[in-house]
Chain A
Amino acid sequence: MNPDRILATGNDAIGYGAIAAGCRFFCGYPITPQNEIPAFFAAELPKVGGIFVQTESEISSINMLLGAVCTGMRAITSTSSPGYSLMQEGMSCIHAMQLPAVVVNVQRGGPGSGSIATAQTDYLFVTKSAGHGGMKSLVLAPNSVQECHDLIQLAFYLADKYRILVVFLPDAITGQSAEMLEKRTLEFPPLPPKNWALRGSAAKKGSRLIVDSFMPFNYSSYFPMIRKKIEQIEKEEVRFEERLTEDAEVLVISWGSSSRTALEAVTEAREEGIKAGLFRPITLFPFPKEAMRAAAAKVKKVLVVEDNQGQMLYDVEWALGCSVPISFLGIEKRDQPSGMGLLYPGPILEELRRLSQ
């Protein structure tokens, strides 16, 4: 039996992946459905000489994370939707200071306290701006336990490479489902030394740094620098997955856990002779616009499936324009009216049958 092949939840897989990536600092505040993540780090980080702090609020979490990452240490915090709202100012500050940080948002449903069950209702909020100031975080959306483990390692690498905030965006289904996980330490290209880190001037032979997000004097250098960084990210870091798209006539576009549901519907549709395919953005920012256009070039219809009222839909419409008819299936097609309802393959298959006629 391979000890590195275990049954794990997505939330635990995030923990294993983060430690494999060299993350040695976690701070966070309890909130469902991500509670397995702080519990994991509280148990595991001390074993590798790492630091775990339970904070008094998500506002404190994001600022403590900012403090830890400005020393050059790989650090992470995790939360769920309402807590993610509280982190906005701190996230904006991390962007202003151009610090590498990783924030996990295991989404729960709806506005306000909402429901503690799954949903994908944070897409627009997470992808369009990190708090005030219009800064964009790099956003990764895993759809399996293995991806939680692998992509979180990529998240740390990308954060360091671009000195940017990376948001990791699973939902309650991906975070709390258990699947087989193969634990492995992924290799990435070497990174430049963190000369910008605060460690005391003795560590820098007397020179010193003062980090500040107040920038009335450097707009003219800051904004072009950010634009170049974003352009490079949009060029080099786009990630997506295509399934059965070669001959597809109806293209389903979906992300995160609902892409698993959509894939099931697509597979069943194929058995009925309907030529359906699936396109899944893995990076929600940068959005895989060009690849999506290519995948949709030959299809007759597009169906966007996500567990909300149509949020990625805006990006799909922006990417594809009027080139193909786009329809949508979302949270209103769940099996139950309560927050505990789920999106099942059935309604998606029905929609695919309708669209293929």
Chain B
Amino acid sequence: MSAKKIKHGNPALFNAFMLPHFCPGCHYGIIVRCLAEALEETGVADRTIMVTGIGCAMVSAHYIKGVEGMVALHGRAPAVATGIKRALGPDSVIITMQGDGDLSAIGMGEIVAAAARFEKISVLFLNNANFGTTGGQMAPTSLLGQVTPTSPEGKSPEHGGFPIHMAEMMAGFKGVAYSFRGSVHTHKNYNRTRKAMITALEKQQAGHGLSFVEILSACPPGHHVKPMAGLELVEKKLMAEFPLGEFKNAERPA
């Protein structure tokens, strides 16, 4: 597979025959497209195995041509990815894709342990501040004041604690080579996120450590807003709590 620039239309690796299952206004489809572009630019799709978690990101591998996939149990993608990466060796490229309920709630143990163990995998963390698939319940990333079926009065520190900042937390691990938080709600941010995904894949192939890309995403039904208002939700609310940026970009620790 040769690396080339994409200008218009669907990326070559985007499987347009797969019927979209995302809700109107959801950003997950854009993130999957972004990953398809990143994989095309790096040319590693045919040795990539995507391990997706349980949630709306579950079937993402189907949208990307050439990659093989495995749907892990809820929260366990980093453990499954470790098994695959270590079994196949450094030439393989392993990408995990998990939502915020999957990674930062039930799967916190697995992601922290994978970072501590210096696993050479790339983790995509799709943060839409709620459990989208199950009906918009409160997640560890939910914002203070956010009304959900399990925080009907709005999330308060006493009720559900403070939002977890994963990208900042992951930057604190020696085993993590790269930690970034981006979004896909504007062209500029889409391109930044794509570049971050490419950097993440490069860090993995160079053996520098675990690479972590958090992507803020709108979930209009979960946040009770109309599809187009998802852009504003990311810009005004999610970005106010979760600042965008690169939190770590390092070589293999000495």
Contacts and interface: CB of A to CB of B under 8 A. Distances in A.
Interface of A: 25, 27, 51, 53, 55-57, 59-61, 63-71, 73, 75, 89-90, 93, 198-203, 206, 208-214
B87 interface: yes
Nearest to A72: B87
Contact of A200 (B49, B61, B82): B49
B88 interface: yes
Given A64-B80, A212-B71, A214-B58, A25 B109 contact: no
B62 interface: yes
Interface string B38-80: 0000000111110100000010011000111111110010011
A222 B112 CA distance: 35
Given A75-B87, A200-B47, A210 B68 contact: yes
Nearest to A66: B80
Contacts of B202: none
Task: Report, as a range, how many residues of chain B touch the other chain.
Answer: 35 or more
Interface string B195-209: 000000000000000
B73 A71 contact: no
Contacts of B83: 25, 27, 53, 63-71, 75
11 contacts: A53-B117, A55-B113, A64-B79, A66-B80, A67-B81, A68-B86, A198-B84, A208-B68, A210-B70, A210-B71, A214-B58
Nearest to B50: A210
A272 B89 CA distance: 63
B104 interface: no
A210 B69 contact: yes
A139 B180 CA distance: 46
Nearest to A59: B76
B92 A63 contact: no
B110 interface: yes
Contacts of A64: 79-80, 82-83
Interface of A is mostly: mixed
Contact of B73 (A90, A201, A203, A210): A90
B211 to A, nearest CB: 18
A70 B70 contact: yes
A68 B51 CA distance: 13
Nearest to B112: A56
A200 B110 CA distance: 24
Nearest to A57: B109
A199 B88 contact: yes
A132 to B, nearest CB: 11
Given A68-B87, A198-B69, A212-B69, 16 more contacts: A51-B86, A51-B87, A53-B86, A53-B117, A61-B79, A63-B110, A67-B79, A69-B83, A70-B83, A198-B49, A200-B49, A201-B46, A201-B66, A201-B67, A206-B66, A212-B70
Q: Sorted from nearest, which 8 A-B pairs have the closest CB atoms?
A: A67-B83, A210-B69, A56-B113, A202-B46, A67-B80, A200-B47, A68-B83, A63-B79
A57 B76 CA distance: 11
A89 B88 CA distance: 24
Contact of A202 (B47, B62, B112): B47
